[in-house]
Amino acid sequence: MMLGLPHLLRLWPGLAMVTLVAIAALFLAEHYQAPVMLFALLLGMSVNFLSEEGRCKSGIDFAARQILRWGVALLGLKITIGQVQALGWMPVVMVVLTVASTIAFGVLVSRLFGFQPFFGFLSGGSVGICGASAAMAIAAAFPQHPHKDRATLFVVISVSTLSTLAMVIYPMFANWMGFNAKLAGFFLGATIHDVAQVVGAGYSMSAETGDVATLIKLMRVAMLVPVIVVAAWLTRILPLKLPESYSEQSVAIAAHPPLLPGFAIVFAILVIANGLHFLPPLVVEGGSTLSRWFLVASMGAIGMKTHLKDIQSVGWRPVVLMVLETLFLVVLVTVILKFFPMQ
């Protein structure tokens, strides 16, 4: 993505604030030996008023989206083909099983709550795959409907909030379950909703956990392709009717989102290039350092954009539905890791 001078001038106030938060988070993490991602999130949340209006909003939005993608893409320089092969075939089976089961669970429970199955598909897909980006992509596969935008907005807000909570709680749960670094990576990558929070939770535990969690997460992201195909097919055989009990706010939905996000493609290319030793050590080291800065900065931006009060206007049933989907995914992954060898 090329940035012209006018665009940079519009973004720089927000980017400057995000950079200050990142520097402060790195300083505190180094001196207090605590997770840098958590510091970045909390510091960002302390100044979240900056994202509501004014000169900083555009830069904060840019950091939370585009810089995050750059950071995740550059993580490919830290992971080799050997590490991917070492995971074996079981993680692929686990990802396919958990994504399909979570969507099926969402559709079933949504009917019990009085919602149409499409809302269960939308919410279950966002929980099972990759959070807000999955919700946007799946919604774009549905035909236009008066309540689709509001339903999508609710799912985006809810899954982002749940993912932020998961980033803080799940590492503690993984330690309590006695998972080693690799199994903790499996658990975090398979259960946390958004990519940023997976990265934050994984690397807050250890480098190995972060690497494994990122790989598992990107496997889930790749599931967008078959899930969107299924969503598009369902709209042809079933009428679309989404629930009406949502805020009057709306959210813009991309008409034709990419089936596989560009950052995931770049990530895979860098993994292959690094594994085949096509890149000099200086590039690998510099890219890895830049990735860490990008991720810390984007985490601070996400904190600035986090407003938990935004979900207070919705009813309790949609909230309970998404919490149940989240708990279902946690229980399913925990059972798989406990009873099926993935060492």
pTM value is: 0.70
Q: In this predicted structure, what is the pLDDT of residue 188?
A: 95
Handedness of CA 127, 132, 133, 137 (dihedral sign): positive
CA separation for the pair 249, 212 (Å, rounded):
38
CA 208 to chain centre: 19
Give the model's pLDDT for residue 253. 40
Delimit the domains of the chain by residue range: 10-339
What pLDDT does 309 receive?
63
What is the C-alpha separation between 210 and 182, in angstroms, rounded? 9
Return the pLDDT at 257: 46
Dist. CA 137–CA 314, nearest whole Å: 22
Asked if residue 73 lies in contact with residue 47, where contact means CB atoms within 8 angstroms, the answer is no
Pair 29, 39: CB distance under 8 Å: yes
pLDDT of residue 335: 93
pLDDT of the residue at 191: 94
Which amino acid makes up residue 244? E
Q: What is the mean pLDDT of each run of 10 residues along the chain (343 residues)?
A: 68 91 90 77 84 83 84 78 71 90 93 84 89 76 64 77 88 92 92 86 88 87 79 67 43 45 77 83 89 87 72 69 94 90 63
How much is the pLDDT for 339? 85
Q: What is the pLDDT of residue 245?
A: 44
Beta carbons of 67 and 74 less than 8 angstroms apart: no
Q: How many CB atoms lie within 10 A of CB 282?
A: 8
Q: How many CB atoms lie within 10 A of CB 304?
A: 30
